[in-house]
Amino acid sequence: MDTKTHSLSLANPAPQNMNAMQKLSVAIGLTGLFIFALALFNVQLLFKTAWLYVAIIFILAGILIYSLSTYKKLPPGIQNNGVYFKSISAKGVWGWATGIVLTLLYVFLYWFPQYLGMGKEGNNNTGLVGFFDPLSYFLNGHAASQWFVYGVLYTMAIVGFGFKFLLKYRHNKYQQVRTISVMFFQLGFAFLIPEILTKLNPTIPYFSKDVKNMWPLNYYFFEDWHLKAMLEGGNLGMFILLFGLAMIFIISPVLTYFYGKRWYCSWVCGCGGLAETAGDPFRHLSSKKLNAWKFERWSIHTVLVLIVLTTIAVLYTFLGDPANKTWITKDEFTIGVVIFLSVVIAVIFIFKRKQLDKDVKYTLAALGIIVVGSILINFLSGQKNILFIDSNQLRSWYGFAIGAAFSGVIGVGFYPLMGSRVWCRFGCPMAAILGLQQKLFSRFRITTNGGQCISCGNCSTYCEMGIDVRAYAQKGENIVRSSCVGCGICAAVCPRGVLKLENGDEKDRFNPQAILIEKDKITLAG
The count of other CB atoms within 10 Å of the CB of residue 344 is 14
What is the DSSP code (8-state) at residue 514? -
> Of other proteins, ligand SF4, none, which one sits near residue 4, judging by CB under 5 to 8 A according to partner kind?
other proteins
> Of ligand SF4, other proteins, none, which one sits near residue 229, judging by CB under 5 to 8 A according to partner kind?
none
401 to 113, 411, 420: CA distances (angstroms): 18, 12, 19
The neighbouring-strand residues paired with 447 are 500
CB of 453 to other proteins, least distance (A): 8
Is there binding between residue 113 and ligand SF4 (CB under 6 A)?
Answer: no
Query: Which CB, 185 or 293, lies closer to other proteins?
Result: 293
The neighbouring-strand residues paired with 444 are 503
175 to 134, 423, 490: CA distances (angstroms): 36, 22, 11
Q: Which stretch binds other proteins (CB under 8 A): 104-112, 304-312, 399-407, 469-477?
A: 469-477
Contact letters for other proteins, residues 470-509 (x by CB under 8 A): xx--x-------------x--xx--xxx--xxx-------
Give the count of alpha carbons within 13 A of 444, CB side only.
Answer: 28
Q: Is the dihedral of CA 324, 390, 428, 285 positive or negative?
A: positive
Give dist(CA 124, CA 104) in Å, integer.
Answer: 24
The count of other CB atoms within 10 Å of the CB of residue 515 is 11
Whether omega for the bond prior to residue 216 falls within 30 degrees of 0, making it cis, is yes
Give dist(CA 307, CA 310) in Å, integer.
Answer: 5
CB of 448 to ligand SF4, least distance (A): 7
DSSP 174-216: HHHHHHHHHHHIIIIIIIIHHHHHHHH-TTSPP----TT--TT
Is there binding between residue 46 and other proteins (CB under 8 A)?
Answer: no
Q: Which of 177, 200, 347, 401 binds other proteins (CB under 8 A)?
A: 177
User: For 30, phi and psi rounded to 5 degrees?
Assistant: -65, -35
Contact letters for other proteins, residues 1-20 (x by CB under 8 A): xx-xxx-xx-xxxx------
The count of other CB atoms within 10 Å of the CB of residue 160 is 22
Query: Which CB, 255 or 465, lies closer to ligand SF4?
Result: 465
Query: Which CB, 126 or 449, lies closer to ligand SF4?
Result: 449
Q: HEC profile for 39-62?
A: HHCCCCCCCHHHHHHHHHHHHHHH
Q: Which of 218, 459, 477, 482 binds ligand SF4 (CB under 6 A)?
A: 459
> Of other proteins, ligand SF4, none, which one sits near residue 469, judging by CB under 5 to 8 A according to partner kind?
ligand SF4
Give dist(CA 456, CA 476) in Å, integer.
Answer: 14
Is there binding between residue 484 and ligand SF4 (CB under 6 A)?
Answer: yes
Count the residues in the chain.
526
Query: Which CB, 470 or 509, lies closer to ligand SF4?
Result: 470
> Of other proteins, ligand SF4, none, which one sits near residue 323, judging by CB under 5 to 8 A according to partner kind?
none
> Of ligand SF4, other proteins, none, which one sits near residue 463, judging by CB under 5 to 8 A according to partner kind?
ligand SF4
CB of 477 to other proteins, least distance (A): 13
Is there binding between residue 451 and other proteins (CB under 8 A)?
Answer: yes
Query: Which CB, 310 or 448, lies closer to ligand SF4?
Result: 448
CB of 222 to ligand SF4, least distance (A): 29
Give dist(CA 178, CA 51) in Å, integer.
Answer: 33
CB of 264 to ligand SF4, least distance (A): 13
**Count of H-run helices and E-run strands, the chain:** 26, 2
The count of other CB atoms within 10 Å of the CB of residue 326 is 15
Please check whether residue 126 is in contact with residue 132, taking contact to mean a CB–CB distance below 8 angstroms.
no
Which candidate, 76, 90, 82, 272, places its Cα nearest to that of 168? 76
Q: Which stretch binds ligand SF4 (CB under 6 A): 50-58, 192-200, 267-275, 452-460?
A: 452-460
Q: Which stretch binds ligand SF4 (CB under 6 A): 50-58, 199-207, 300-308, 485-493?
A: 485-493
Give dist(CA 342, CA 338) in Å, integer.
Answer: 6
> Of other proteins, ligand SF4, none, which one sits near residue 518, judging by CB under 5 to 8 A according to partner kind?
other proteins
Q: Which of 299, 359, 449, 506 binds other proteins (CB under 8 A)?
A: 449
CB of 286 to ligand SF4, least distance (A): 9
Q: Which of 76, 188, 373, 504 binds other proteins (CB under 8 A)?
A: 76
The count of other CB atoms within 10 Å of the CB of residue 113 is 21
The count of other CB atoms within 10 Å of the CB of residue 61 is 16
Is there binding between residue 431 and ligand SF4 (CB under 6 A)?
Answer: no
Give dist(CA 236, CA 287) in Å, integer.
Answer: 43
CB of 454 to ligand SF4, least distance (A): 5
CB of 474 to other proteins, least distance (A): 6
Is there binding between residue 158 and ligand SF4 (CB under 6 A)?
Answer: no
Is there binding between residue 78 and other proteins (CB under 8 A)?
Answer: yes
Contact residues: ligand SF4, CB under 6 A: 453-459, 463, 465, 467, 469-470, 473-474, 479, 484-490, 494, 496, 498-499
Contact residues: other proteins, CB under 8 A: 1-2, 4-6, 8-9, 11-14, 75-78, 80-86, 171-174, 177, 289-290, 447, 449-452, 454-458, 460-461, 470-471, 474, 488, 491-492, 495-497, 500-502, 513, 515-518, 520, 522-526
